[in-house]
């Protein structure tokens, strides 16, 4: 039978890996102080505790307000691997929240993070790229990444990193390139993407295709894509097994064929056939993109000639479930039947 007395010993530490979280509003300030302590163990424990707390957006807000980001930035430079890994994890979690993203932009965390691009620990880099990816979802964040001239290094990393991290990089790049693609184009991103399109990993292929979509929005990108002969690869990818890949390839083609050169290049590689098949794909994105590409191609007289016979398919698509597809189909019909 246990004693009714209150024991004079402190309760056992059930989780010695975590620092004790103080009660209520003292939790974060205390952790902040512990983060700045000289003792390695204290810092590590504080980081573990912080990681748990950062899943709550309110805590994220409070943490940023009391200046946790400064301590975290200092910890990024720490020599101990675990500390760095944990810090990047914490930052990544913060980046999934909008408050965190804003805080990142205000406190210049991107610059501090960029030092870790060549960190020897792969976990560290993975978290880093996850943080960047989430940051890039926000337009302001993407702009921030572009402004801090990280694009060249990111493009360079595309070559050297592992697959997992490459996927993240491609996502980040896709988002950033939507914002501003000129710098990347200057850094030969198109040949890299071309390689990635041929990769074995289907995730990488689809993400590379999405990045290509972003690249080919500006005119310069379209020209480069045409120059590097990526259009045949894209057409080939239209027949890929993965639907995502197909859809993304169609999207890239959609942009590339806006230029006349692109149109004729696509027509030369017999793109119309796979595209017509894609019209029946279950993925609405694929259908949409395919319709768009065909619309582009129909502006060229040769394309129009071929597509005239397929007008009924388009009419059928006007009854599609997705409103966007209906609209697109309408436009396509109009374009095909246009007489100069």
Partner 1 sequence: MPRRTGLPPKPSSRNFPEVPLPAGTLGCWATGAGGAGGLSAAPSKPSVAPTSCPGNFPSRPLPFLPPLLASRNPCPWHYVHLSGSHDTFVATCFEPKLHRKRSGLTLGVACTLTDRASPAMATYTYTSRPRALPGRRRCYRDDQMQQAEEPMHYGNIMYDRRVIRGNTYALQTVPLPEQPDPAEIQRQQQAKRRALAKKRAQEELRPRTPEPVEGRKHVDVQTELYLEEIADRIIEVDMECQTDAFLDKPPTPLFIPAKTGKDVATQILEGELFDFDLEVKPMLEVLVGKTIEQSLLEVMEEEELANLQARQHVHEELRNVELAEVQRLEERERRHREEKERRKQQQWQVVHKHKETAQKIAARAFAQRYLADLLPSVFSSLRDAGYFYDPVERDIEIGFLPWLMNEVDKAMERSMVGRTVVDMLIREVVGKRLSLYERKEDRHSSLKPEDGLSGPGGMRDPPVGYEFQDHGASQAQRPLPDTDSLQRTPYDAMYMERVSSQDRKLMEEEDEQTNEEILQE
Residues that bind partner 1 (CB under 8 A): 1-2, 4, 14, 52, 55-56, 93, 96, 137, 213, 217, 251, 254-255, 258-260, 284-285, 288-289, 292, 295-296, 299, 324, 328, 331
**Phi-psi region at 24: left, alpha or beta (left = phi > 0; alpha = psi -120 to 50):** left
Residue 270 region, left (φ>0) first, then alpha (ψ -120 to 50), else beta?
Answer: left
Choose between 165 and 328: whose C-beta lies nearer to partner 1. 328
Q: Which residue number, 96 or 166, has a Cβ lying nearer to partner 1?
A: 96
CB of 34 to partner 1, least distance (A): 19
Closer to partner 1 by Cβ: residue 154 or 329: 329
- Which position has the token pair 């990024």? 76
Min dist CB 27 to partner 1, Å, is 13
CB of 320 to partner 1, least distance (A): 13
- Which is closer to partner 1, CB of 110 or CB of 254? 254
Q: Do 238 and 271 meet the contact criterion of CB atoms below 8 Å apart?
A: yes
HSE of 263, CA atoms in CB hemisphere, 13 A: 15
Smallest separation (angstroms) from partner 1 to the CB of 327: 9
Long-range contacts of 36-43 (CB under 8 A, 24+ apart): 36/71, 36/74, 40/80, 40/83, 43/75, 43/78, 43/83
Q: Judging by beta carbons within 10 Å of its beta carbon (0-12, 13-18, 19+), is residue 301 exposed, middle or buried?
A: exposed
Q: Which is nearer to partner 1, 35 or 288 (CB)?
A: 288
Choice between 100 and 144, CB closer to partner 1 = 100
**In whole angstroms, how close is the CB of 74 to partner 1 at the nearest point?**
26
CA geometry: angle 288, 289, 292, nearest 5 deg: 90
Measured distance CA(111)–CA(97) in Å, rounded: 19
What angle do helix axes 122-137 and 81-95 make, rounded to 10 degrees? 20
Least distance to partner 1, CB of residue 177, Å: 13
Q: Closest Cα to residue 72, out of 121, 105, 31, 41?
A: 31
Residue 145: partners with Cβ closer than 8 Å, 6 or more residues away: 110, 132, 135, 136, 151, 172, 176
Report the nearest approach of partner 1 to the CB of residue 14 (Å): 8
Cα–Cα distance between 190 and 54 in angstroms, integer?
38
Question: Quick one: 258 or 311, whose CB is closer to partner 1?
Answer: 258
């Amino acid at each position: 039978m246990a004693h009714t007395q209150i024991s004079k010993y402190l309760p056992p530490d059930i989780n010695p890996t975590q620092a004790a979280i103080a009660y209520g509003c003292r939790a974060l300030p205390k952790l902040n102080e512990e983060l700045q302590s000289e003792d390695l163990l204290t810092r590590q424990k504080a980081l573990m505790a912080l990681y748990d707390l950062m899943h709550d957006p309110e805590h994220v807000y409070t943490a940023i307000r009391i200046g946790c980001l400064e301590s975290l930035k200092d910890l990024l430079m720490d020599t101990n691997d675990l500390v760095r890994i944990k810090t990047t994890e914490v930052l990544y979690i913060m980046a999934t929240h909008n408050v965190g993203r804003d805080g990142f932009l205000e406190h210049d965390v991107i610059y501090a993070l960029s030092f870790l691009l060549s960190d020897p620990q792969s976990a560290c880099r993975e978290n880093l790229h996850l943080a960047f990816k989430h940051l890039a979802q926000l337009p302001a964040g993407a702009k921030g990444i572009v402004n801090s001239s990280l694009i060249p290094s990111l493009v360079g990393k595309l070559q050297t990193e592992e697959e997992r991290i490459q996927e993240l990089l491609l996502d980040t790049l896709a988002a950033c390139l939507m914002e501003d693609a000129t710098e990347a184009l200057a850094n030969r991103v198109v040949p890299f993407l071309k390689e990635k399109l041929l990769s074995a990993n289907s995730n990488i292929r689809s993400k590379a295709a999405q990045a290509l979509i972003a690249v080919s929005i500006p005119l310069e990108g379209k020209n480069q894509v045409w120059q590097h002969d990526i259009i045949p690869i894209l057409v080939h990818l239209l027949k890929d097994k993965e639907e995502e890949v197909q859809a993304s390839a169609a999207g890239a083609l959609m942009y590339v064929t806006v230029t006349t050169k692109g149109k004729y290049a696509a027509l030369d590689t017999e793109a119309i056939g796979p595209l017509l098949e894609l019209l029946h794909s279950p993925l609405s994105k694929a259908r949409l993109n395919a319709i768009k590409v065909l619309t582009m191609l129909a502006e060229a007289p040769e394309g129009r000639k071929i597509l005239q016979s397929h007008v009924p398919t388009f009419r059928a698509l006007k009854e599609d479930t997705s409103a966007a597809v209906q609209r697109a189909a309408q436009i396509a019909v109009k374009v095909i039947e246009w007489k100069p």
